[in-house]
Structures are given as C-alpha cells and as structure tokens.
Amino acid sequence: MSSQPLSDDILPPSLLARLERMELVSRKIFRGRMKGERKSRRKGQSVEFADFRNYVAGDDLRFIDWNLYARLDKMFLKLFLEEEDLHFYALIDDSPSMQFGDPTKFRFAKQLAASLAYVGLCRADRVRVESLSSTVRDRAPVLRGRASRMRLVDQMNKMQPGEPISLEQGVKNFCLRNGGKGILVLISDLMDKQGYETALRYLLAQEMDTYVIQVLAPEEIDPDLHGDLRLIDSEDADAAEITVSRPLLEKYRRTLSAFVDGAKEYCTRRGMTYLMSSSDRSVEDLVAGYLRQRGLVR
C-alpha cells in the first residue's frame, strides 16, 4: 500500500495504542442518530443502571423496581443509561500560511485531527474531517468504526494546502454543509486579516461543542529575524518593512501575546475551549496530556 509509510507517519502505532483507550467527551447532550457505544447523558434503554425516580401514572410498568416496592411499599422507576453515537467534526485550516514551521503547522493540524478522529472511530462515533477550502463537490465522507482507519489516513494524506480562503468563508461553507450537532475541533492559526470573530460566531450559531486549537509555528512565536527586512505575506503578498531591533521584537511579542489572550478570552466567553500550541509540539503529548485535562477526551 502506497500510503502505508505516510499512515505510519501520521498515526504511528505507539500513538494508535494510546488513542484506542480514549474516548471523545461532549459537554453538551446531543441526540445521536444511531445507537453507539457512547454512554449518553440521556437516560434510556440499556443494561447499565443510572438512577431511580418516582413512578408517575403512564410510566412503563416494565421498569418498575418490584423488589423495592416489596420493601418500601412505594413504586420507583428504574432508569438506565442510554448508549448512543456522537458526531465529531475536525476542521483544518489549509491556507498557505499553515505551510510554515518545521514540521509545518498544516501537518501538525492533520496529525492532530487524525488522532482525534481515530479516537472517535474506536468508539463508533460518526467522524468527518474537512478542510476550510473543501467544497460540496469534494466533501469528505463520514467515517465510522475502527475499520475506517485506513480511509481516514488516506484522506489525510490526500489533503493538500488549498487556495487562500478567508477563515470566515471557510467556516461558513462548513456550517452550510454540516447541519448536525456534535463536537467540532477547529485547527487554525487564526491569522486572518478580517479577524476570526465572525468565523467563530458561525460555529456558535451551530450550537456545536467547539474547540479552537490555534497552531503557531515557532518562528511566529519567537521570530529569528535580523536587519532591515521587507516581510511579505504568504497569502496576499502584503508587505511590511521593518528594521529589526530588540524593542521591535519585544513589541511583536507583546502584540502576539495580546492576540492570543484576546482569542482565548473571546472563546471562553462564548463557551468554546481555546488552546494554543506550537507546531513543534508532540501530538501524542497534546492529546494524552492537555486535551485530556481540558475534557475533550478521556
């Protein structure tokens, strides 16, 4: 299989082994379309006991706990946990600005998306990984079940940086294509001259459980620049002339810090989870460590 080396690259066995033990967690209650392996917060029919409640007229007599009635002479209804499936979407920013860093931000984003998607596959969730520049024509398939791993890897490998598209437009397209509720992980550098706020507002309207993971290249976090430079934007060829000096670099760092803090505050206020990561960070650590703490996986 020609994609085998790449598959190993994106989802190495050691990572797979860890991911198989995890599951995606949603903070919101979503009604799944099919029965899944997921314990829903909704009570329903399953073998797993959840709670009692008082009997009210009209309740299904099959669920009355007769043993308890014999003891207390009161009727209680047994409640069971419902098991259902979950929609998991990963949206990768594939604009040219993601092509920077070593490994590139784009590759980091793909690997992170693949990892989270695999967690979903293992728990029989509905998984869809898309990029911002995806159109209705080449929309990605919905994957389900562990067996779909190779299809996922294949899709990831095929995914290439696309045309420059604004974050707002990309997210809008995504929302039009996918109406369902579920967990959405947006992996982007948020570097959009029109701002990220409108884009995130679309996701908010979608009532998804949204995670925003901002990926920045090390050269963006701590630029290693010297001298009199003409900086050229990789997306719109905009130019900025700078003379690098210590005060300027300090000012850049302050601006970056303000930008990151602003995004974090914007997300937190609107119930989204924000996370910033450098592209040279290990995906395994990020998923197993940080995202676990933040409650996306467990």
Partner 1 sequence: MDYFNPILSPWPWIVAGLALPAIVALYFLKLRRKPVEVPSTYLWSRTIEDLHVNSLWQRLRQSLLLFLQLLVILLVLLAFLRPGVMGTKLLESRVIILLDNSASMSAEDVSPSRLDAAKDRALEIVEKLGPSDVAMVIAYSDEAQVVQEYTDNRSLLRQKIQAIEPTQRPSRLDEALRAASGLANPGRSSADATDVQTAEAKPAELFIVSDGGVAAVPDFAVGNLNPKFLQVGAEEASNVGILAFSAERNVEKPQQFQIYGRLGNFSLEEKSVEASLYLDDLLIDARRATVPPGEEGDVVFDMDLTDGRPPEGTLKLSLAPEGRDDLALDNVAYAALNPARKARVLFVTPGNGPWELALTTDAVAEIADVEIGAPALLETKEHHLAADEGRYDLILYDRVSPVRPPQANTFYIASLPPGEQWNAGELEGPPILVDSDRAHPVMYLIDALTNIAVAEARTIEGPQGARTLLEADIGPVMQVAPRGGFEDVVLGFSFYDQGQGGETLVNTDWPRKLSFPIFVQNLVGYLGGSRGALVANSVRPGESTTVRVDVPADRIEVVNPANEVTPVERRGEASFIYPFTERTGVYGIRLPGKEVQRRFAVNLFDPRESDLTPSELKIGGGEAIAASADWTPARNEWWKWVVLACLGLVIFEWWVYNRRVYL
Which residues here bind partner 1, judged by CB under 8 A? 97-100, 105, 189, 191-193, 217, 219-220, 225, 227-235, 238-243, 245-248, 251-252, 255-256, 259
**Quick check: 118 and 12 in contact, CB under 8 A?**
no
Shortest separation between residue 1's beta carbon and partner 1, angstroms: 33
Q: Are strands 239-243 and 87-92 parallel, antiparallel or unpaired?
A: unpaired
Shortest separation between residue 189's beta carbon and partner 1, angstroms: 7
Q: Which is nearer to partner 1, 55 or 100 (CB)?
A: 100
Q: Are strands 183-188 and 38-54 parallel, antiparallel or unpaired?
A: unpaired
Q: Which is nearer to partner 1, 197 or 235 (CB)?
A: 235
The secondary structure of 80-147, three-state, reads EEEEECCEEEEEECCCHHHHCCCCCHHHHHHHHHHHHHHHHHHCCCEEEEEECCCCCCCCCCCECCHH
Residues 6+ apart with CB under 8 A from 202: 168, 171, 172, 175
Q: Which is nearer to partner 1, 31 or 251 (CB)?
A: 251
Q: Which is nearer to partner 1, 137 or 230 (CB)?
A: 230
CA count, 13 A, side-chain hemisphere, 281:
21
**Quick check: 113 and 156 in contact, CB under 8 A?**
yes
Q: Which is nearer to partner 1, 147 or 240 (CB)?
A: 240
C-alpha angle 103-252-281 in degrees, rounded to nearest 5: 25
Hey, what long-range contacts does 175-179 have (CB within 8 A, 24 or more apart)? 175/202, 175/203, 175/205, 175/206, 177/130, 177/134, 177/136, 177/139, 178/89, 178/128, 178/130, 179/206
Shortest separation between residue 246's beta carbon and partner 1, angstroms: 7
Q: Which is nearer to partner 1, 145 or 195 (CB)?
A: 195
Q: How far is CA 85 from CA 125, 148, 153, 170, in A?
A: 5, 16, 22, 27
Shortest separation between residue 253's beta carbon and partner 1, angstroms: 9
Shortest separation between residue 249's beta carbon and partner 1, angstroms: 9
Shortest separation between residue 279's beta carbon and partner 1, angstroms: 10
Shortest separation between residue 181's beta carbon and partner 1, angstroms: 32
Q: Which is nearer to partner 1, 67 or 257 (CB)?
A: 257
